[in-house]
Structure 1
């Protein structure tokens, strides 16, 4: 006689479950019975942030222009003290179309998360109803008492697959990671938008100053041409001086159309970033010159990039997502237990349908186990494991790229500042050279070629100085962008826009703190949460324009 006949039904199921876990573990599955219990009856790895090499400080931390201290980067463009730039940044944050697309991806991910959460409840619920008029054969050997009758029926049935291995909970974890990844993707688009707009604005101001420089030199060279013309008319010089002066003047004038073209193209780019059709902004943006950068830039420490840069955090969420999918595919290797039940009423007459005698129903457990799948499930699991390792390497590479990009931006900013000082001295010397050469030409002590050469050098050096001053600002923008600053503005409620709550169940986003680990849980410790003090400071709303919010209702 079998032993299981003496066991109550309630004790047979746990023994069967343990037996299945031990069988799968012996077959090479990752999660053992003890780990399965420690993980609250979930198979697969628990997530924690992968280890990655991070420098303790920046290479140029000792430079007087670099300050390694914490700072608020939410409105970094205000360091330029330019009201026009401030207004453009606010307008772009509420009107840019790519940013709106990113917000719709957040809404999509939120809906997918709600869908995944729904799998934790009975997966199939159906209300049924039927009517049939049945006529049996009158010549059948086994004749039914009723040859012709009606059949009425109504009822409800449900099926609930028990989440014995954490299969559905892992799906929820994957959906949560995808949802948080979409938020960081939004933040990344916002950071890129702010950087591109600031760079385009500074480029426009730089081109305007270069245009002013060329126009001022046109006036100077026009005066030189008039001087050469008078000296030629007085017979003191040959016509060669007049021809040289006219040639130099026309060459300088020829530099104006390309600059005007570049200004217009830059304005067009600004319009597109603002979410509007290209138009001439000359009437809207008063010319204010190249913004003045601060003497120092606050860069913090490299470790802060892990929690500040949206692209790094997005890469981390991809690891969390893939970790959950590993658990999901491992759960597919195990049998699926379900409770199935139905209740309803059946009667020949509709008037008898709701009598107690018409009640029918059934309820009971069952299981389904995919066997003889020819390696499809186990190889699917191995593929997800490989993708997890790929995501870990991708995250580590994202951290290295972030570190490198900040270092590149810092050194570009510092060296361009040095170049500005050298060019400034060069311009002063070139201006003095033009004055001396012009004076000596008036007095007949120098030939006209000396005047032409000094004026040509002056134009070149002045344009180089203006371009270098612009590059200092652009490089400073790159520093703040690479540091991951600016996305914090979505947490601020401003009058320019409304607030879109992107949490599926409340009006704010939950703390973005993954609780899964890429390593199997140990016997003596809990999974290490991937959170720190920066997470606690992350406000949890995304600012969107009112008209966009109305489309979501």
Structure 2
């Protein structure tokens, strides 16, 4: 339902008087409704947060609060520092997240723009006319006398919705929360990117260490095979000993292709994370290096810190905030929408010759200004169902936020357990490697003295290789678990 426009008086005095009177009546109405916004105001739901993490009693953990922005520097690895700095600069996924922030900022600008006149249009035309002094058109074309004149029109039209019920302001709230959620998503992309670079780098160094261990054992096993072959020539050992030694050597050599593949895959993955083609990492990786070592103690804080530190939790809540405002936008459609509409047109008519200056004569103006109301009362059922849809979406996002808080705590607990238990396992494996190395030396000595058979030598060598390889893998697991802890804590 639309109320027709109301024409205004033409004289300056009448226009000014009527306009001032209209403002006097309009201002109190606007002030009365300025603070009115339909729909719910967001209230943060209760979330279940433990007072401390389950592993906090371990001396290797500290419950102090700290800034995890540069957590990877705890590894004290300059190469890792350079890789992460390069990823921050060139990673394509991070750039995509940045573009999404710009998009959300533009969406906020669109929402804010609705506060101002929504429909603005400039109009203008120039028309040439010639009329005959005779009634028939035939006489006109035979050259009868007539009148020539020009008609010009220039003006502007505008429409401004008055935000009585807060529909526009709720839309701005929603767009603002969406922008903040997108910024949180950008931060979460940083967290994920940092963890991915660190994990991939650790995988690369772990593969290099396992290759080094395999090559070291291959050298030992080749020496053993040469000794056995020499003794076979002198008839002191059988062909069985030679073949057993060769089998052990070949089995160890067979592990190299798999390890080389793992190393190459890690390098290629790093290249993608750094936004560059494969094979371009030579200046960043230098030569093979040791697996990054974790510090003796790490700071984990308390679970409540996750609510402000983890960007995915912030994003989940901000999405709920944005959707809460959308309920108000939907509810505003149940009420009438009030607008101010106005036209200002300058009309001129020139006989004979057209003069451009005549188009802008203030005395030829026509002004119209008045209110308009629109109310979708016949669509009440559809609008009500839309309100229910928006509310259901809001409830889902609230539950998603609460679930994200619980998942974050689980994430930290799981990674802490993996970190601590991997350290425990590494301590035991280190002792096992020491014992295995001593067993190899004793077995070789006793074999040379004829006290034990060659099978014992091979068994101890295989055990040493297995334990060394397990230790290298576990050291890598310690570092990747620590990366998981920092990622779960929202570092990056």
Q: Tell me, yes or no, whether TM beats 0.5.
A: yes
Runs of 4+ aligned residues of structure 1 deviating over 3 Å after TM superposition are 8-18, 133-140, 146-150, 280-284, 350-357
Query: Which residue of the partner structure matches residue 229 of structure 2?
Result: 229
Query: Which of 23, 41, 46 matches 1:46?
Result: 41
In structure 2, how many angstroms separate the alpha carbons of the residues matched to 1:395 and 1:311? 9
Cα distance between partner residues in 2 of 1:378 and 1:47: 20
Contact 1:264 1:280 in 2 (8 A): no
Higher mean C-alpha displacement, 434-443 vs 351-360: 351-360
Contact 1:267 1:280 in 2 (8 A): no
1:423 CA drift (Å): 0.7
Match of 1:76? 71
Deviation at 1:12, TM superposition (A): 8.9
Cα distance, 1:342 vs structure 2: 1.2
**What's the TM-score once normalised by structure 1's chain length?**
0.79
* Offset of residue 234 of structure 1: 1.6
The answer (yes or no) to whether the contact 1:187–1:310 under 8 Å persists in 2 is yes
On the 8 A contact 2:160/2:339 being kept in 1, the answer is: yes
For residues 372 and 261 of structure 2, the distance between their equivalents in structure 1, rounded to whole angstroms, comes to 74
8 A Cα contact 2:180 2:318, kept in partner: yes
Counterpart position of 1:85: 80
Shift of 1:50: 2.4
The separation in 2 between residues aligned to 1:156 and 1:189, in whole angstroms, is 47
Tell me the secondary structure at the aligned position of residue 152 of structure 2.
strand
Separation of aligned partners in 2, 1:203 and 1:254: 20
Pairwise mapping of residues 137-148 of structure 1 onto structure 2 (< 5 A)? Answer: none
**SS of match in other structure, 2:114:** helix
Question: Take 1:358 and 1:43, find their aligned partners in 2: how far apart are those partners?
Answer: 44
Q: Distance in 1 between matches of 2:126 and 2:384?
A: 46
C-alpha separation between the residues in 2 aligned to 1:80 and 1:354? 75
1:434 to 425, 433, 440: 440
**Residues 11 and 342 of structure 1, relative CA distance in 2, 3 Å threshold:** closer
Q: Corresponding residue for 2:308?
A: 307
Partner residue in 1 for 2:119: 124
Structure 2 contact 337–374 (Cα < 8 Å) conserved: yes
C-alpha offsets along residues 159-190 of structure 1, whole Å, 9 cap, x if unaligned? Answer: 11101111111111111111111111111111
> Secondary structure, in 3 states, of the residue corresponding to 1:250?
helix
Paired with 1:13 and 1:125, the residues of 2 have a C-alpha distance of: 21
Q: Return 5+ residue gaps in structure 2 as ranges.
A: 1-20, 137-145
Partner of 2:327: 326
CA distance in 2, matches of 1:222, 1:280: 35
Deviations 1:489-545 (A, max 9, x none): xxxxxxxxxxxxxxxxxxxxxxxxxxxxxxxxxxxxxxxxxxxxxxxxxxxxxxxxx
Partner Cα separation in structure 1 for residue 416 and residue 27 of structure 2: 61
Residue of structure 2 in register with 1:239 after alignment: 239
Q: CA deviation at 1:148?
A: 6.9
Larger radius of gyration: 2
**Structure 1 equivalent of residue 163 of structure 2:** 163
Q: Structure 2 vs 1, CA of residues 330 and 135 (structure 1 numbering), >3 Å: closer, same or farther?
A: farther
Measured after TM superposition, the shift of residue 15 of structure 1 is 11
Q: What is the CA RMSD across the aligned residues, in angstroms? A: 2.3
Task: Find the counterpart in structure 1 of residue 11 from structure 2.
Answer: none
**Aligned residue for 1:377?**
383
Once the two structures are TM-superposed, the CA of residue 355 in structure 1 deviates from its matched residue by: 3.2
Q: Secondary structure at the match of 1:261?
A: helix
What's the counterpart of residue 271 of structure 1?
271
- Between 258-267 and 130-139, report the one with greater CA deviation: 130-139
Match of 1:546 in 2: none
Q: What residue in structure 1 maps to residue 475 of structure 2?
A: 469
CA separation of 1:15/1:113 partners in 2, compared to 1, >3 Å: closer, same or farther?
closer
Q: 2:487 aligns with which of 475, 481, 499?
A: 481
1:363 aligned to which of 345, 369, 372? 369
Structure 1 residue 275, shift from structure 2 partner: 0.5
Give the superposition deviation at 1:95. Answer: 0.8
Q: Deviations over 1:426-483 (max 9, x none)?
A: 1111111111111111111111111111111111110000000110000000000110
Matched, 1:151 2:157: no
Q: 1:297 and 2:298 equivalent?
A: yes
Higher helix share: 2
Shift of 1:215: 0.5
Q: After superposition, give the CA deviation of every residue in 1:135-177 in whole Å (9 maximum; x if it has no partner).
A: 679659xxxxx98753211111211110111111111111111
Measured after TM superposition, the shift of residue 374 of structure 1 is 5.6
- Give 1:9 shift: 8.4
Give the conservation status (yes or no) of the 8 Å contact 2:271–2:280: no
Q: Please list the CA deviations of residues 227-286 of structure 1 after superposition, one character each: whole Å capped at 9, or x if unmatched.
A: 211221121111110111011111111111111111011001111111100006466422
Tell me the TM-score normalized by structure 2. 0.88
Change (3 A) 1:9 1:215: closer
What SS is found at the alignment partner of 1:196? Answer: helix
1:346 alignment partner in structure 2: 347
| Aligned pairs, number | 456
Unaligned runs of 5+ in 1: 1-7, 19-35, 141-145, 487-553
Task: Please give the residue correspondences for 1:453-468 in structure 2 after superposition, counting only pairs within 5 Å.
Answer: 453-468=459-474
Give the 3 Å change call, closer, same or farther, for CA 240–112 of structure 1 in structure 2: same
- In structure 1, the partner of 2:183 is 183
Cα displacement (A) at 1:49: 2.5
